Amino acid sequence: MDDSRRIDPWSSEQSTDYARISDQFGLGSIDISKLPNPGILHRRGIVFAHRDLDVILGCMERSDPFGVLTGLMPSGKMHLGHSMVIDQVRWFQEQGADITVTVADLEALATRGTSLADGRENALREYVHNYAALGLDPSSTNVYFQSGRPAVQRLAFTLGRRTNLSEFEAIYGFKGDTNLAHVQAPLVQAGDIIHPQLEEFGGLRPIVVPVGVDQDPHLRLTRGLANKTHWFNVKARKAGGLTVTLSIQDENLNVFGVGPNGRVDRSTREAIFARLKASLVPMGYSDYIANPKHGTLDVPGAKSSDAAQVRMCVLALERELGGMGLMPPCSTYHRFAVGMTGDKMSSSKPETTIFMDDSVEAMTRKVKRAFSGGQPTVEEHRLHGGDCSKDVAFQYLQFFFESDDDELARIAREYESGRMLAGEIKQICIDSASEWLTDLAEKRDMWDGRLDEFLAPDAL
Ligand code: TRP
């Protein structure tokens, strides 16, 4: 793949060609009519793509357990761009998810030289405090540190056996001079994403990871790694239904009855097939076509939409038999809000974004200077109207500050018709943002000294 078509999760450049990215990497598009109580980011098309979100929606519908995993870099300040992920996390939590938050202190150490102590301090003050203020419920939220969870690192090592430098080159474009911190970080991140499924962290259940598209390479890697560990594959059956096939690997030769000479031990294999069918009893299928010798079980009566539930059944069996039993992670992707100056939002350029603890004065100054979609003169503006797609004040109302869809539509109409001037839309943005920031600061005060409620036992 040529470098321009790759996504680089560490780059300060961001591709915003969302249609191409979706297409190239096979992301699903979001059908908001399928989402219960869609939030503003869903209603406004800001969360635009996903992988396997239907698996999560199925869990919501059946009230089956599912989790969310999200992560933060504990260097730099939290700004509006980061708050978008937390809005989605809160929505998932309201629909029944448990929440795991990774503090990527090892990644920050490796890629930015942030000490673990500074990373901890920064994570709590800048991020966890604001997550609390943004309304995450501590009773089902667990914040942990990469450096404090050996299980994550163990997984990174275990999963690392299933990939190689060629795959890293294909996904990330690594070359001979790539710093090894960039090889370690994705493996640890795969560990982060997978580990909530371990027994001691909640057990087998689907996990969804809401991210910006810049993080998709990590999801592709992690999903691939999970799939490579599978002892059973679930596929569409040509003649209708689903087929479960055994995936023979070194570590399951004995269990699946494959002898040293490749010969299949009939009674071992038949016993596995009996257990395989038994694992599917909750699905209520009546016929199976079993071919133990070839390692296939056809389920003609299965619907294609049953695939995730069938997979969950066979992953549970895989665990009983001694495999890892890992569900590939699901994900959602959001568009990035434009930076206030018209280019990318970045913590290192304070004028490009609003920080969660910006004063009303600082915010006001930034909005007043922000990139405008207005016309050069009032006369032209009255004639041609403003351009919402370029106007930062409008977009910040849309992404963050105006939760009422009708009011937002009214503002858009007024602005585009030229009745509302650029200065006026900026003032509306300033008023809403003032309220938003003041409210957030009050909520932060409420959580002062109580952040431990969000920390997992190994993070205290
Ligand atoms: N790499 C992420 C970042 O740069 C941080 C992170 C670490 C993360 N582990 C994660 C994000 C797991 C999502 C899921 O911000």
308, 336, 364: which is the final residue of a domain?
336
Structure confidence by residue, pLDDT tens digits, 362-401: 999 999 999 999 999 999 999 999 999 999 999 999 999 9
Residues 219 and 241 in one domain: no
Structure tokens at 456: 């997992």
Q: How many Å lie between the centroid of ligand 1 and the Cα of residue 126?
A: 16
Residues 203 and 267 in one domain: no
What is the rounded distance in angstroms from the CA atom of residue 384 to the CA atom of residue 382?
A: 6
Contact 327, 226 (CB under 8 A): yes
pLDDT for residue 175: 93
Residues 377 and 254 in one domain: no
Q: How many Å lie between the centroid of ligand 1 and the Cα of residue 192?
A: 8
In the sheet that 330-334 helps form, which strands lie side by side, from edge to edge?
28-29, 47-51, 330-334, 207-212, 67-72, 98-103, 141-145
Structure confidence by residue, pLDDT tens digits, 265-308: 999 999 999 999 999 999 999 999 999 999 999 999 999 999 99
Domain membership of residue 453 (yes or no) is no
Residue nearest to atom 4 of ligand 1 (CA): 73
The whole model's pTM is what? 0.96
**Distance separating the N- and C-terminal Cα atoms of the chain:** 44
Q: How many Å lie between the centroid of ligand 1 and the Cα of residue 107?
A: 8
Contact 196, 208 (CB under 8 A): no
Q: How many Å lie between the centroid of ligand 1 and the Cα of residue 450?
A: 24
- For the Cβ of 353 lying below 6 angstroms from any atom of ligand 1, the answer is no
The amino acid at 390: K
377: CATH? 1.10.240.10
The amino acid at 252: N
Residues 255 and 300 in one domain: yes
- For the Cβ of 207 lying below 6 angstroms from any atom of ligand 1, the answer is no
Q: Which domain range does residue 375 map to?
A: 350-447
Binned at pLDDT 50, 70 and 90, residue 348 comes out as confident
Structure confidence by residue, pLDDT tens digits, 240-266: 999 999 999 999 999 999 998 989 999
Domain membership of residue 116 (yes or no) is yes
Structure confidence by residue, pLDDT tens digits, 87-101: 999 999 999 999 999
Give the count of domains, the chain. Answer: 3
- For the Cβ of 107 lying below 6 angstroms from any atom of ligand 1, the answer is yes
pLDDT for residue 8: 84
Residues 214 and 296 in one domain: no
What is the rounded distance in angstroms from the CA atom of residue 274 to the CA atom of residue 431?
A: 66
Residue nearest to atom 6 of ligand 1 (CA): 71
Residues 199 and 301 in one domain: no
Residues 302 and 356 in one domain: no
Rounded (10°) CA dihedral 37, 42, 48, 53 = -20
What is the rounded distance in angstroms from the CA atom of residue 258 to the CA atom of residue 311?
A: 23
pLDDT of 12 strictly over 70: no
Residues 201 and 237 in one domain: no
Helices (DSSP H) in 246-340: which residue ranges?
Answer: 266-279, 307-321
- For the Cβ of 73 lying below 6 angstroms from any atom of ligand 1, the answer is yes
Residues 298 and 361 in one domain: no
285, 310, 336: which is the final residue of a domain?
336
Domain membership of residue 193 (yes or no) is yes
- For the Cβ of 71 lying below 6 angstroms from any atom of ligand 1, the answer is yes
- For the Cβ of 105 lying below 6 angstroms from any atom of ligand 1, the answer is no
Residues 398 and 441 in one domain: yes
Q: How many Å lie between the centroid of ligand 1 and the Cα of residue 70?
A: 7
Residues 222 and 244 in one domain: no
pLDDT of 228 strictly over 90: yes
φ, ψ of residue 432 in degrees (nearest 5): -65, -40
* CA neighbor of 74 nearest in space, from 177, 134, 141, 148: 148
